[in-house]
Chains A and B, each alone.
Chain A
Amino acid sequence: MLIRPLGDKALRVEVGERIDEATQARVQAACAAIEAASLPGVRELVPAYTTITVHYDPAAIAHAGAPSDDLAGWLGMRLEQVVKSAAKVKTTKPRIVEIPVCYGGEFGLDLARVAARAKLSPEAVVQRHVKGDYRVALVGFAPGFPYLIGLPKELATPRHAKPRIVVPAGSVGIAGEQTGIYPFATPGGWNLIGRTAVPLFDPLAEPPAHLQTGDRVKFRAITADEFAKREAAR
């Protein structure tokens, strides 16, 4: 484990070096432990593939008794103790969230591209994508935008050199070995293979993002008719 400053209002806690399940599990456990410890001055945590960014308030840390010439060291030491004993903290079982997706056609403009690169039929690509066992490693770059690990390796496809000006909301895409879903229409360079009608972000909901780091995700293929019904029901 490595704890280093990130400017004067955050620390980075690194618990691994690779994007894989084992590291993700450590990130989740460390995050849960830090939250449970309710350390003074810690404002929020941002878990990612291999790290947790701990945002803190220097004034609150000083107020809690830290030496004013080493606020970061004081907090860092406490974080280290908390994370080291993370194994003893009971983590909740990850949720399994099902995301129904209508693959191909107008919703999957890059399905053929992914298939050609994998030397598979488009149907086979869909079958393998659906079979994947995914975990949300990161939510970022846009509110509610989930980065999933667990994409079958043969489906990995590099992103477009020139991003599309608009990627429709709900689009399911592949970029390299990552798969993700666009919560809003934004520019984007991911390979689009399908679309979901499930809203991924609602600022009035608590929590506002549908998917959270640590969640397991299963994709389920649906027909265009079912997609239309779900869209209408929103």
Chain B
Amino acid sequence: MSSSKESLGFIREATGLTREISGKTALVGNLLSMGVAGSFFYAFFSSLLFPGTNLPMGVLFAIVPSIVVAYVYYVLAVAMPRTGGDYVWISRIINPTTGFTTNFMITLGIMQAFATAIGLSVVTYGISPMLAGLGILYGSSDLVNLALYILKPMPTFVIILVFQLIAVAPNFIGTKATFGAAWVMFIISAAGAFVTMFAFLSAPQAVFVSNFNSLSGMNYSDVIAKAGLPAGFSLQNTLYGAIFTILSYVGFSFSSYYSGEIKRVARSQLVAIIGSVLLFSVFIGGVYAAAYYSVGADFLNAISNLAGTGSSSYALPVAPSLNFLVLFATPNPAVVVLSGIALVAMGIGTVMVYYYTVVRNLFAWSFDRVMPSWFARLDKRGIPTVGIAVMWLISVFFALLYAFTVFTQFLLYMTVLFTIGMAVACLSGAIFPYRRKALFESSPEIVRKKMGGVPLITVFGAIGFVLMAFLSYAAVSPAITAPPSGPPVVQAIIYAAVPLTIIMGIVIYQVAYHYRKSKGIDMNLLFQEIPPE
């Protein structure tokens, strides 16, 4: 028997009463799940697509929507701590069709990332630049040719397959193996990212210019001149360029899925979620600022433009991602390798967790009778072998698409599925106090905070919805990003991918609904609140 520190009450010894995870532990977990190394190629994407973008300032812009979304997730997690996340929140607050469709969209987005995360992080921007960098440092044309060779469709496909197998393997062993291995990958990735940042900081621009001129076969000043871009920064393009930075913040909410039985103010969770967004901003902003210090913003914009537009003036073997450019800051093979490994490790770790996440989503759909029960079948060791194997086969399909077709353009369009998902989660947060009044009124004080009489979750949810809806539009608007290339039928498919995914989700749910209805079960009852009076 004890008394609660946060109330006058007396608590008795009873099953399930545990101590809360410390804020520090949760903060570290969140931070390591957010991929700093992704900034290496996001810098190239942003600079190419939005010339004049100011990457460090873009981080400041990215903080705002990220904090807003993080706050919404935090409050919903405190209000409903054991639900397992946005699938149930949205189903409960809006309706089950929207909840399933949103989760389906995000799951499909994750599935295509089985290939693109490895394709980009491991092959295109990981191993290839590493080999090219070593080739330049050692004067080895063989290494440079190898760097180019692996970018061809078949080698890309084979490498993706190999790393998909590496990523999926721990899932067949169990949850502890999966997260243990992913944790190691994330630590390696973070270490490599810090090495890269310090490598840039140790090389003032004059050093970078000298090394670039002597090693690259190009001239620093000529690069800027030939690109012909206006010098300085554009506020508009900085805003648009922040889109990619925002995508790096995924992972801030890992700690939101657990809370103690006796409801506490959960300050430690607030520290973890909001703290991880702020600290991550410092890290990623640090990488960008370090790169600008050494490489120079105008040069980065210019060289990205020359590389991305296929200019004949571009003489480097691979794209100018930061982990490739670092070799001109610090011509040290160890730095080149560690920088490349940072991305490789991030890709593997991310996909390891993605396989687990998708299978867990399948379980949830199966328990809610939206999908067949065999999706949740376990083998004798308690591992969902069938589900994992099906996911691996799907990932092979996406690997084929990535390697042999132009559907890599899916990346930008499929990221819309994530931003739409977050927009819907924010919307559910905004209307939560009104749709689930009783739950809201019985939640801890941090959930019920108001500003001018309006619940803070409503304010933040509404802002988050508008921001994420705008980002979703910006991510696919031809006025902002490059339209898809290829034959008209390919363009049509790419444009249709997102609305088709949404329609698929709605159709799947409706088919399941009517099938279960014929068996006497009304799935609308799944999340409807029973009146207590």
Are chains A and B native binding partners rather than an unrelated pairing?
no
